[in-house]
Structure 1
């Protein structure tokens, strides 16, 4: 069978009115061997991209599923911040599960074969996931800022029930705010009357609509969230620094005499170093959040807008690899979110260990239950006049001494108490 040459038309620029001309002045024409292209793969270009997509997919799915499972499995992990983290992981998981397989399929195919309806639906769901992630990140920054600035009021304002309502509003708003992509994403026909193919791309013929959409997404996903999150996290950093300075002054001036007289003054002298450690952990984490968001989402959004305004050709081979890298970076943000928000948190690390080490967790629960039963049996018996009674509340006992005897010679110390809460990140 003879090879078939196809002529593909693509806009080389968009004029001031946003409409391409029909005389071919604003279009470039190029031909390629369609039949040969179906069986030709440039693995030197595809292999690195496929490897990065695969790593991002595996790490993103495992990390986000682990966060969702940990929060849902352990009720004591549920707090306003962790509820937002579960929503963020859900949005990131949808983005990874939908976007990366489609990107891999597009890398291995020169045409869109899923039809016009799937072209709009898939890109709409991708936009929903991206917008939902952005809105969740922004809401989390505002919630954290309010909780640190107004710690007492936040106990009544930043509740789990209100956080769930906020998440519902975020998801509904995301479905509405992402709807413009349904109009601007089209199933464009390429080829000739002999052999036709389709590409799922932006509507090049409607330049005004294309420009408006890319500008809208740049402002919605990058500009406004960056301003809001930057302001919120800057306020948090200043509040933490001012609180640390105030505490240091109190310890240096008000408790200096007590430290000299107290035999346990060594513990108090370590407080400044503990606060310095808090600064080294919390402040860099907040800065990393904003930095990763800007770095991962900024390039692809800016390039898309430049393409819409004609500053960058839509099909420039010199920028092809850079655009692929920029796409990967936007997905990489969803991949690293579990690391930044989960693995950098001491309480979440403990929750992950409990989720992964089922044998240790079950052994700890069995030990706790047996201890509780022994305490109940001991309290039912009439204690001697020299023994102090133990009161039971849930799975823990409030003990009056450092060491108390349970049943047949079993001793329990306060250092063996089971941790009861991971509610704060």
Structure 2
């Protein structure tokens, strides 16, 4: 039997008719994703805020991205969870627009941060001598400002001015719009714009930058090896450290790019294709792909936890309560000049 969200049947959305067991399983899985996202990103925020040694320009960029991902887990995912499981929006039409705008804004802001972090790492690996002069706190502040403001203007402007419906208004109001629903609808034009702004441009920057870092880091490693073989001097160990650092930076960024592509690519490809396929992609699949995108915010702190020893040390201090001790903020988390 069909369950409707509203008593006027011809304008009402259809509620989900899943059994209680399926609902309970979905709620459990989504609550786990939300809690993992909140805890992981909160640990990054606390670590970078608390420990003085982590107050570097790069880390403020990571801190800002963790804040975006934390807010996504806090303000967006819980409402999306209810909508995904119940196929019904309980929170009113105005809040639907606010939720949709915030969702698009924070998801895009997270992606923007990732592309700026890849640019920052590119400068660190490929031009280490001029890195500190080029990437100072002001440059990082501009990156953070752009990462927040551009997605905010784009998301809220598009949803509240209904630019996402442009060219497909009739189709939307006749066949898609219903009472009790809250779906993100894109026309052909707005779907392409969303794909370009939130995925293709930042994603391409990340891929190109990673490609360059990979080859430069490999080239540097080879030239250091050659030099070591020629010199046979005690500098070998020092070069080995910088060589492994560069390789680690390339590897970390590679994983970040890979996770980003796996999480977001299916959603954005479907978003851009759906209007051209006459909206034949089922809403349940679309929902699953949105959650796949959310997982990117869940995985981001895990990548850092896995690759950065300072993160693991900070995590131990937070969990053991040592950060409440006097002068714990001055604790040394790593030996090199850069994390």
User: So what's the TM-score if we normalise by structure 1?
Assistant: 0.67
Out of 261, 265, 268, which is 1:301 matched to? 268
Once residues 127 and 84 of structure 1 are traced to their aligned partners in structure 2, the CA distance between those partners, rounded to angstroms, is 20
2:254 aligns with 287
Cα shift at 1:214: 1.5
Change over 3 Å in CA distance of 1:84–1:418 after alignment to 2: closer
Out of 136, 145, 151, which is 2:128 matched to? 151
Structure 1 alignment gaps of length 5 or more: 10-30, 191-195, 204-208, 259-264, 367-394, 396-416
More helix by share: 2
* 1:175 is aligned to 2:152: yes
Moved over 4 A (4+): 3-9, 185-190, 268-280, 417-423
* 1:331 is aligned to 2:308: no
Cα shift at 1:238: 1.4
Once residues 330 and 349 of structure 1 are traced to their aligned partners in structure 2, the CA distance between those partners, rounded to angstroms, is 26
Once residues 52 and 206 of structure 2 are traced to their aligned partners in structure 1, the CA distance between those partners, rounded to angstroms, is 29
1:225-240 equivalences in 2 (<5 Å)? 225-240=202-217
1:12 aligns with none
Change over 3 Å in CA distance of 1:90–1:150 after alignment to 2: same
**Superposed CA offset, 1:85-116 (max 9, x none):** 01101111111112221122213434323222
Cα shift at 1:273: 7.2
Structure with higher Rg: it is 1
More strand by share: 1
**Segment drifting more, 241-250 vs 59-68:** 241-250
Change over 3 Å in CA distance of 1:107–1:169 after alignment to 2: closer
**Superposed CA offset, 1:176-233 (max 9, x none):** 122213313799799xxxxx94322345xxxxx6222211111112211221111111
Cα shift at 1:419: 5.7
Change over 3 Å in CA distance of 1:307–1:6 after alignment to 2: farther
Change over 3 Å in CA distance of 1:419–1:125 after alignment to 2: closer
Instruction: Find the residue that maps to 1:201 and give its secondary structure.
Output: coil
Cα shift at 1:353: 2.2
**Segment drifting more, 70-79 vs 60-69:** 70-79
Once residues 170 and 107 of structure 1 are traced to their aligned partners in structure 2, the CA distance between those partners, rounded to angstroms, is 28
Instruction: Find the residue that maps to 2:325 and give its secondary structure.
Output: helix
**Superposed CA offset, 1:101-139 (max 9, x none):** 112221343432322211111110111101111111111
Instruction: Find the residue that maps to 2:181 and give its secondary structure.
Output: strand
1:193 aligns with none
CA contact (8 A) 1:80 1:158 kept: yes
CA contact (8 A) 1:233 1:286 kept: yes
Greater relative contact order (Cα < 8 A, sep 6+):
2
Once residues 202 and 158 of structure 2 are traced to their aligned partners in structure 1, the CA distance between those partners, rounded to angstroms, is 19
Instruction: Find the residue that maps to 1:200 and give its secondary structure.
Output: coil
1:218 aligns with 195
Change over 3 Å in CA distance of 1:47–1:243 after alignment to 2: same
CA RMSD of aligned residues (A): 3.5
Once residues 274 and 167 of structure 1 are traced to their aligned partners in structure 2, the CA distance between those partners, rounded to angstroms, is 30
